[in-house]
Amino acid sequence: MTKADFNTDNYAEQSAYADRVKTLALKKYGKQPAACVVTFGCQQNVSDSERLKGMLVNMGYSLTDKEEEAQFIIFNTCAVREHAEDRVYGNVGATKALKRKNPDIIVAVCGCMAQRQSVADKIKQSYPYVDMVLGTQVQHRLPEFIYRRLSGSGRIFDLTLENGEIPEGVPIKRDGTFKGWLPIMYGCNNFCTYCIVPYVRGRERSRAPEQIINEAKQMIASGCKDITLLGQNVNSYGKGEEHGLNFSGLLRKINELDGDFRIRFMTSHPRDCTKELIDTVRDCEKVSSHLHLPFQSGSDRILKIMNRHYDRKRYLELVNYAKEQIPDLALTTDIIVGFPGETYEDFKETLSLVKEVEFSSLFTFIYSPREGTPAAAMDDPVSREEKGKWFSELLKVQEEIAEKNEPKLVGKTYRVLCDAVGSEDGYMSGRNSGTAVIEFPGEKDLLGSFVTVKTEEYSGVLKGKII
Ligand code: 5AD
Ligand code: SF4
């Protein structure tokens, strides 16, 4: 397959397949077929699944959350840790019984885990009831694959990873109306030594600014109030592109769009995070006061082996600058505990960084070896049990920080996007511009609106009243 084939540029060719699937599926199942999309992993996958659903609707399928009601079931998988993969095998295995009852249903596995050759081989051999395995860069050709299978082709295994252009024009069926994901780039070039992502999502490539702006405009026009820009490393947006727009420039452009909405983004890599970006967050009124800046380890020795290209000092400089410039900044981070060769002394550096920065929340992971990454071949003498102890220690430290800091949010006034019902009757819930969740008395008709809330008490949950 050539790069030109991969660049579907618009959805025209697939759309023709979608029309054929519509007719074929109706004939085969004798009724409108239903599709179930099961998503694992990160927001990028959630966003990809919204495109899978868009294509399925375009093919005439209705959508269901119940696998047993579906004629097409697709698992959009994650490979970042072993645990994520085990869950997928469990779920895929459960379709065996469904398939026995109705051999005409189609079962597919796609996403990051599916991209791994060893996984595709295992499915080929041990999961004969799986009809197709699709890699991350061919998912937009779903209509073609379903068409082929419905018209009698053998099982389909397509792991083409061309690092080609980004398919645009794929229909999207968004999960929510007032909060939405907007991918701005795909893939990753960083090759952190623990991470599988560059191998399963391919090289970094950015969407064209006009595609992103157009999608943002569509989202705003359909009532979206909270747009999260997505990429493995948003700070390197536009690198090497002729248009010369970097991530800060893109943020400014989206900030200028008409409408009352908020912009979030993730994930930032400390190596490419600049003062310019922090100034942009400070200056753009629609950009929320939240920075997700994974540091992974507080030990310079480990950061080097992880291939992270920054040290503790540079990280702290960035964070301190961000705290100075952005009032009410919510800082979140990712941390890996028990990287191969990490000692308790190294881990204590992580603890001390957590204590020094006082993050709003942490996403913490015990290191999980990923076949094919450099770290998986490194000596890893510390036992899982010992790593578990360190992990608990880290959680305890963060709990104490949260207990100390969360009550400080009482007595403040925040603009909150009401996005859920509260934990008590008569209460609604929403998020401020950072990551704080606040509950307040209100009715369901507030869902999707901004309200101004003064916080009054904290007892595990932050509560206040609309003013
Ligand atoms: N083991 C544990 N955690 C990992 N992450 C990425 N790869 C691994 C791994 N092999 C974590 C990192 C990353 C987050 C999305 O997942 O902290 O930022
Ligand atoms: Fe997302 Fe990474 Fe998991 Fe892929 S492997 S779904 S990019 S977290």
Ligand 2 mutation pick, 46, 201, 373, max ligand atoms within 8 A of CB: 201
Dmax (CA) for the chain in angstroms is 65
Q: Which pLDDT tens digit goes with each residue over 436-457?
A: 999 999 999 999 999 999 999 9
- Bridge-based pairing of strands 290-292 and 262-266 is unpaired
Question: Which residue CA neighbors atom 8 of ligand 2 most closely?
Answer: 42
What integer pLDDT is reported at residue 22 of this predicted model? 97
Ligand 2 atom closest to the CA of 79, numbered from 1? 5
What integer pLDDT is reported at residue 5 of this predicted model? 36
pLDDT at 257 over 70: yes
Percent of the chain beyond pLDDT 70?
A: 98
Q: Indicate whether residue 370 lines ligand 2 (CB < 6 A).
A: no
Q: Which pLDDT tens digit goes with each residue over 360-397?
A: 999 999 999 999 999 999 999 999 999 999 999 999 99
Which residue has better confidence, 124 or 1? 124
pLDDT at 190 over 90: yes
Q: Which pLDDT tens digit goes with each residue over 407-425?
A: 999 999 999 999 999 999 9
Q: Which pLDDT tens digit goes with each residue over 26-46?
A: 999 999 999 999 999 999 999
Considering only CA atoms, which of 168, 109, 105, 118 is closest in space to residue 136? 109
Ligand 1 center from residue 276 Cα (angstroms): 27
pLDDT at 75 over 50: yes
CATH 3.40.50.280 domain residues, the chain: 3-158
Does the N-terminal peptide bond of residue 64 adopt cis geometry, omega within 30 degrees of 0?
Answer: no
Ligand 2 mutation pick, 43, 109, 134, 197, max ligand atoms within 8 A of CB: 197
Q: Which pLDDT tens digit goes with each residue over 117-149?
A: 999 999 999 999 999 999 999 999 999 999 999
CATH 3.30.750.210 domain residues, the chain: 176-287
Give the DSSP per-residue string, 435-456: S-EEEEE--GGGTT-EEEEEEE
Q: Which CATH number fits domain 176-287: 3.20.20.140, 3.40.50.300, 3.40.1390.30, 3.30.750.210?
A: 3.30.750.210
What integer pLDDT is reported at residue 165 of this predicted model? 72
Q: Is CATH 3.30.750.200 correct for 289-407?
A: yes
- Superfamily holding 410-466: Nucleic acid-binding proteins (2.40.50.140)
Q: Is CATH 3.40.50.280 correct for 3-158?
A: yes
- Per-residue confidence band for 3, with pLDDT thresholds at 50, 70 and 90: very low
Ligand 2 center from residue 130 Cα (angstroms): 21
CATH 3.30.750.200 domain residues, the chain: 289-407
Q: Indicate whether residue 339 lines ligand 1 (CB < 6 A).
A: no
Give the DSSP per-residue string, 106-161: EEEEEETTTTSHHHHHHHHHH-TT--EEE-TTSGGGHHHHHHHHHTT---EEE---
DSSP state of 69: G
What integer pLDDT is reported at residue 10 of this predicted model? 66
Structure tokens at 353: 């960084």
Ligand 1 mutation pick, 235, 306, 334, max ligand atoms within 8 A of CB: 334
- Per-residue confidence band for 71, with pLDDT thresholds at 50, 70 and 90: very high
Task: Find the mean pLDDT for residues 290-315.
Answer: 98
Q: What is the pTM of this model?
A: 0.95
Which listed ligand is nearest to 112 at the C-alpha? 2
CATH 2.40.50.140 domain residues, the chain: 410-466
What integer pLDDT is reported at residue 105 of this predicted model? 97
Q: Indicate whether residue 80 lines ligand 2 (CB < 6 A).
A: yes
Q: Indicate whether residue 365 lines ligand 1 (CB < 6 A).
A: yes
Rg (CA), the chain: 23
Q: How far apart are CA 83 and CA 13, in angstroms?
A: 37
What integer pLDDT is reported at residue 235 of this predicted model? 95
Question: Which residue CA neighbors atom 6 of ligand 1 most closely?
Answer: 195
Extract the runs of DSSP E, i.e. beta strands, from 175-247: 179-183, 185-186, 205-206, 226-230
Sign of torsion, CA 64 68 74 79? positive
* Count of helices and strands (H, E) across the chain: 15, 19
Average pLDDT of the chain, as a whole number: 95
